Amino acid sequence: MEDAKPPGSLYQALLTTHSGALHIVTPLDETTYRRLGALQTHLTGALEHACGLNPRVYRNVESEGFGSRGVLDGNTLQRWKDMGSQKRADACTRAGAEEWQVRSDLEMLGGGGLGYL
């Protein structure tokens, strides 16, 4: 009898809104969350913000003492791929990750078959 989930299985939630927007919510393990969180922190300071909006405020979560964390923005993280090779390497160094790890994490966040959303 197998109670454990198979290795490599990933659960994702597809959310819709009344306005027609689609979102994918992907749970991450601790190391991946920290790595991508550090990368997002670097990217929000290094990239230009759309319409002058600050993405830090948009993704800020008030935890009310329950220890919850902020949400990683997949669109901001995907912009890492649009950077030049030297800037990508610099971002990985500042995040404390190898480039192959970041590529792997971003592929997982894309949702596999749901990546077109």
For the chain, domain boundaries: 29-112
pTM (2 decimals)? 0.74
pLDDT at 58 > cutoff 70? no
- H or E element: which one contains 24? strand 22-25
Q: What's the whole-number mean pLDDT along residues 55-69?
A: 60
Residue-level length of the chain: 117
For domain 29-112, the question of CATH label 1.10.150.910 is answered with yes
b/e 74-91 (16+ beta carbons within 10 angstroms → b): bebbebbeeeeeeebeeb
Q: How confident is the model at residue 80 (pLDDT cuts 50, 70, 90)?
A: very high
Contacts of 36 (CB under 8 A, 6+ apart): 28, 72, 77, 95, 102, 105, 109
Average pLDDT, the chain: 79
